Amino acid sequence: MGLIANTRMYNLTPPIRALFGALVMAVSEASGVVLDVIAHEAPRPLGDLWSRNDMGMVFMCSYPYAQRLPSARPQPLAAPVSTAEWAAGQPVYASRIVVRDESITHVEQLKAARWAWTVRDSQSGYNAPREFLAGLGVDGAVETVGPVITPAGVIDAVRDGKADAGAVDAYAWQLLEMHAPEMIKDLAVAATTAPAPFPMLVASASAPKEGIDKLRTALLALHETESGRTALAPLGLARFAMPDLAAVEALPGRARETDARLGARW
């Protein structure tokens, strides 16, 4: 059975997509497992991608993974470790709360902001900003704009004045800072949310065990070779690590607690 690879969650621009293509190639060569990179571009639902039975190396948000019954979950391979300070050397990420430059100068102002959100099964674009607002003491309705589907949708909504604030996956923001700063000019980071497990690379449950073991081993050792480091560095990644599955399992509970505190869904 042929296996596919997909990095759509972070294919923010064509050059970034090409860098992820090089990463997939490095893993394929190191593991000896052939991977067919497919697009599955927005607005096609990511849930359709994650339900395929031929996934070999596909990014999946940890929240929808945890929402599935164990029997319906794909196999975790590894999770990225960013070089950014918010990662602290662990396979975690967060969300950057972004606003138009100088439009919001104090965190307390975010309580009354109009928020852009991506989709309801997103940790970084939905659960994280809601958890952040609950932590500020917000306990009622919030004016929102959404779903805007992607981090780029959040950025556009804030820049165009349709929203005052929005949450952007911190790793996506890191990639834009590195490779497309023009996309985030005139925007500022007002805050950073609590950490959560980084989206994992997964394979279908039915994928051949031998091939999956080879892919996992190659990912975990990628930083140990010159060719691997060459693929990781331009993506702002230090290495791959085993995901913290206990923290992944905790995500739905965190979301339910936030829902109870805010009293309303967006």
CA distance 82 to 59: 15
CATH of 3-83+198-245, one of 1.10.1740.10, 3.40.190.10, 3.30.70.260, 3.40.50.12160: 3.40.190.10
- CA 29 remoteness from chain centre: 25
Q: Let me know if the fold of 3-83+198-245 is the same as that of 92-196+253-262.
A: yes
Across 18-25, average pLDDT = 98
In the chain, the largest separation of any two C-alpha atoms, in whole Å, equals 54
pLDDT-wise least confident of 127-131, 137-141, 230-234: 137-141
Q: What percent of the chain has pLDDT over 70?
A: 100
Of 203, 200, 199, nearest to 3 by C-alpha is: 203
CA distance 195 to 82: 13
Name the amino acid, one letter, at 126: Y
Residue the block writes with tokens 């196999």: 75
Domain 92-196+253-262 has CATH 3.40.190.10: yes
Domain residue ranges of the chain, discontinuous segments joined by +: 3-83+198-245, 92-196+253-262
**Per-residue pLDDT tens for 240-256?**
999 999 999 999 999 99
pTM: 0.95
Residue 101: what pLDDT? 84
Across 83-101, average pLDDT = 97
Q: How confident is the model at residue 140 (pLDDT cuts 50, 70, 90)?
A: confident
Q: What percent of the chain has pLDDT over 90?
A: 92
Residue 1: what pLDDT? 66
At residue 79's C-alpha, the angle toward residues 77 and 82, to 5°, is 155
Is residue 73's pLDDT more than 70?
yes
Residue 185: what pLDDT? 94
What does pLDDT average to over the chain?
96
For the stretch 261-265, contacts whose Cβ atoms lie closer than 8 Å and that sit 24 or more positions apart, written own/partner, are 261/134, 261/139, 262/130, 262/133, 262/134, 262/138, 262/139, 262/140, 262/142, 263/139, 263/140, 263/141, 264/140, 264/141, 264/142, 265/120
